[in-house]
Amino acid sequence: MKYFFVLSLFALLLALAYWRARPYIAAARRFLGVFRDAQRLSSDYQATGAPRRPSRAGEKLARCAVCGTWLPASRALALRNSPDPYCSTVCLTAATDARATRRKSAP
Ligand SMILES: [Zn+2]
């Protein structure tokens, strides 16, 4: 009976810890998903020299304005005041940084 009590307490703690960590787990899973997509995109690119036809029919491809990676238009990131698509927040920030310095250096 004592074991049962300890076990249930342990299970409760575990559930609590999992509940607390849920946002982090979701974020980690999203991060891994992005990484996997990037890997797949680059392997597609290496295999054919051009992006493979998207599996979903009728989906347009967009080309990252910074690094030139092809990606489905639905996945592309875009700024509100710019039509250029970007593959990731890294490229998006690089573009905005370049823009900011250009604006700063302009007379
Ligand atoms: Zn990019």
Tell me the CA–centroid distance for residue 73 and ligand 1, in Å.
13
Q: Higher pLDDT residue, 54 or 77? A: 77
Q: Give the Cα separation of 42 and 62 in Å (integer).
A: 14
Tell me the CA–centroid distance for residue 40 and ligand 1, in Å.
15
Q: Are strands 77-78 and 85-86 parallel, antiparallel or unpaired?
A: antiparallel
Tell me the CA–centroid distance for residue 22 and ligand 1, in Å.
29
Mean pLDDT of all residues in 74-101: 88
Question: What are the backbone dihedrals phi and psi of residue 73, each rounded to the nearest 5 degrees, phi first?
Answer: -60, -30
User: What's the pLDDT at 92?
Assistant: 92
Tell me the three-class secondary structure of 17-29, residue by residue: HHHHHHHHHHHHH
User: What's the pLDDT at 71?
Assistant: 93
- For residue 73, the SS3 value is coil
pTM over 0.85: no
Tell me the pLDDT tens digit for each residue of 15-72: 888 888 887 878 888 877 877 777 777 776 665 555 555 555 677 899 999 999 999 9
